[in-house]
Chain A
Amino acid sequence: MSLKDVEVRSRKTEVLIALAVILATLPIIIGFSLIILSSFSKSMVTNFDPKSFHPTLENWINLFQGKSAAVGGLREDILKYTLNTAIVALGVSLLVTLVGTMSGYAISRMNFRYRKQFLLLILLLHAFPGSVLIVGVYFIYRLIAPLALGSITAFSFFYVIIARAALEIPMATWLMKGFFDLIPWEVEWAALIDGASRFTVWRKVMLPLVKPGIAAILLFGFLAGWQDLIYVRTFLAEKTLATFIEYNLGAPEYAEMPLVAAAATLYLLPTIVFFVTSQQLLLKVSLAGLKR
């Protein structure tokens, strides 16, 4: 990057380009800001009218007390929905990380029969998002749900986590392969010659060396599970923040919209926090799958 500084730029073009970028980004900034702002107002402020902004903390207080009769006097336990969303997100995150670090290690470091076919499969699935397969995935759910021991609610959490995680497996495998590829072989040889098994080498030697990769994949898995709408609405027996928003906008004339805006802001919060704290990691993850 230091060489970039050697360049002489004209100040004027720089300002012009920056202005163009800002202009293009404006709809995103305005759109998100107005929703966040509305959560602190008595009515939605999505029109540019300062008169519709009446500052209040009521939405947030109602939100946390679960008082808000959003539709027809029902109590909406938004904290529970938040917890449900978090359970799905954490589940997806942990499962994707565990499976991805294992398969990523295998295709990066091991030379086994059918490796090429396995890689081709992973790449093909990476290129082909599995979300169109949902009819079949729901069919499996219906077939095995009656066999589930215990509550159907618990089973639906379990199923939505694995099904959603499965969607991220090709990406996670490819990402982790990239991280494992960067580690010098000498490290691994030393351990193997000392008589350690491949599994021990993976766990004790390799995993500590790919910590940035693990952090990236944990974060990415979490955000994937956190943002999900289609899978939770199709499979989960309980509401999450996503289905709460979907449900309220289904009949907006009965909904307490500023309260929904507060729920949406709460829902957006972890994403924003991760954005601010780990930009670089996110950029890295998004690059997964590129050739090196």
Chain B
Amino acid sequence: MKIKSKGFFTRRTSEALIFILPALILIIIFYILPVVLSIYISFTPLKNWNLDRYLGEIVGFRNYEKFFYMLQHDPIIRNVFLTTIVFITITLAINVLGGLGLALATYFVSEKLSAPFRTLWLLPRMAPIAVYSLVWYYFFHGSEIGTLNSFLMHLGIIKEPISWGHDIIPWGPWSIIIFVNGLVGVSFGMIVFTSAISNIPKELVIAARVDGASNWQISRRIFIPLMKWHILYVTTWQLLSLLTTYAHIFLLVQWGLVSRQYGTTWSLYIYQVAFTGRTDQGLAAAAGVILVIVGGILGYITLRMLGFEKMITRPRGDI
């Protein structure tokens, strides 16, 4: 390794290196190397993880061409994209507005009443993903054992059970994946906003109350303007995580609760193509590389918007 800048291995830097080395090694092996390898795989025709047969073969941009060709002509991929866009847009709105709504609502009721609900809303995020999926599998099940179906049938709203994930295309499967992921994301917004509200000086609220302001006016005129940064933070953070995570919808598609066509988002598609059924890692890697580029750009814009410089002030007391 060439060291250009003078004094890289000063005592201070090598001291710090000991502390960051474990994290650095993990980041290199599990973030940077996989990106590099994904780029490489995307130039090979790798299928069914048959490394011996395909790994030496380079096919240039064929996987990318295939991907963009499919995007134009293959209805399956087009549905994946449509699903991704609808899914991200609506889930994001639910996450941010739901989080905001819950944070404000729990502020205006007494702590004793609100604390258990805050905890309950953490459950979707923290519960084992397989259990969480099982819960919604039965909730939205297409037969009369499904909770939603039997509830609506008891009320007499529907006569026959509806297969939510298959009958009403495309909004049935979309609603399910949006609902299931929406609940996971709401807690994030709720926690961030709750903490933001608790940091707002109480004098402001009391002064407004004395002037006769309603809950709505206090939220609208005091809390929301003061939480602009937090709202931006939650929005951009959730946008990125919705773009790249698929764990909470994976089983719903795998178990056939929602139709594969309208229940698969871009990141889930990558996983499916790479690991389930007849696999094509070259194509999956190409789709993954494009996603990494989109995510990387979005992530960078996010950090700039959030005022990255402010978040990394130097440690003032270091000697």
Interface 9-residue window, one of B66-74, B79-87, B140-148, B164-172:
B140-148
Looking at the assembled complex, report how far the CB atom of B305 sits from the nearest CB atom of chain A, in whole angstroms.
11
Q: State the total of A-B contacts with C-beta under 8 angstroms.
A: 345
- In the complex, what residues of B have CB within 8 A of residue A132's CB? 244, 267, 270, 288, 291-292, 295
Complex: chain A residue closest to B273, CB-CB: A135
Give how many A residues have a beta carbon under 8 Å from the other chain's beta carbons: 115
Interface 9-residue window, one of A43-51, A60-68, A71-79, A150-158:
A43-51
Looking at the assembled complex, report how far the CB atom of A274 sits from the nearest CB atom of chain B, in whole angstroms.
8
Instruction: Select A135's contact among B209, B288, B302, beta carbons within 8 Å.
Output: B288
- In the complex, what residues of B have CB within 8 A of residue A24's CB? 102
Q: Determine the main DSSP class of A at the interface with B.
A: helix
Given A28-B183, A140-B37, decide whether A111 and B314 contact each other with a Cβ distance below 8 A: yes
Instruction: Select A169's contact among B27, B114, B125, B254, beta carbons within 8 Å.
Output: B27
Interface set, chain A 110-148, CB cutoff 8 A to B: 110-113, 115-116, 118-125, 127-140, 142-143
- The bracket for how many chain B residues form the interface is 35 or more
- In the complex, what residues of B have CB within 8 A of residue A98's CB? 22
- In the complex, what residues of B have CB within 8 A of residue A56's CB? none
Interface set, chain A 15-39, CB cutoff 8 A to B: 17-18, 20-22, 24-25, 27-32, 34-35
CB pair A110–B23 under 8 Å, yes or no, is: no
Complex: chain A residue closest to B317, CB-CB: A185
CB pair B154–A48 under 8 Å, yes or no, is: yes
Complex: chain B residue closest to A166, CB-CB: B30
Interface set, chain B 243-290, CB cutoff 8 A to A: 244-247, 250-251, 254-255, 267, 270-271, 274-275, 281, 284-285, 288
- In the complex, what residues of B have CB within 8 A of residue A282's CB? 122, 126
- In the complex, what residues of B have CB within 8 A of residue A229's CB? 128-130, 133, 247, 250-251
In the complex, B296 has a CB within 8 A of chain A: yes
Interface residues of B (CB under 8 A from A): 5, 8, 10, 12-13, 15-20, 22-24, 26-27, 29-31, 33-38, 41, 49, 51, 102, 105-106, 108-111, 113-115, 117-131, 133-139, 141, 144-147, 149-151, 154, 183, 187-188, 191-192, 195, 198, 202-203, 205-206, 209, 215, 229-230, 233, 236-237, 240-241, 244-247, 250-251, 254-255, 267, 270-271, 274-275, 281, 284-285, 288, 291-292, 295-296, 299-300, 302-303, 307-308, 310-312, 314-319
Interface residues of A (CB under 8 A from B): 1, 3-4, 6-9, 13-14, 17-18, 20-22, 24-25, 27-32, 34-35, 44, 46-49, 98-100, 102-103, 105-113, 115-116, 118-125, 127-140, 142-143, 162-163, 165-167, 169-170, 173, 185, 188-189, 192, 197-199, 202, 223, 226-230, 234, 241-243, 245-246, 249-250, 252, 260-261, 264, 267-268, 271, 274-275, 279, 282-283, 286-287, 290-291
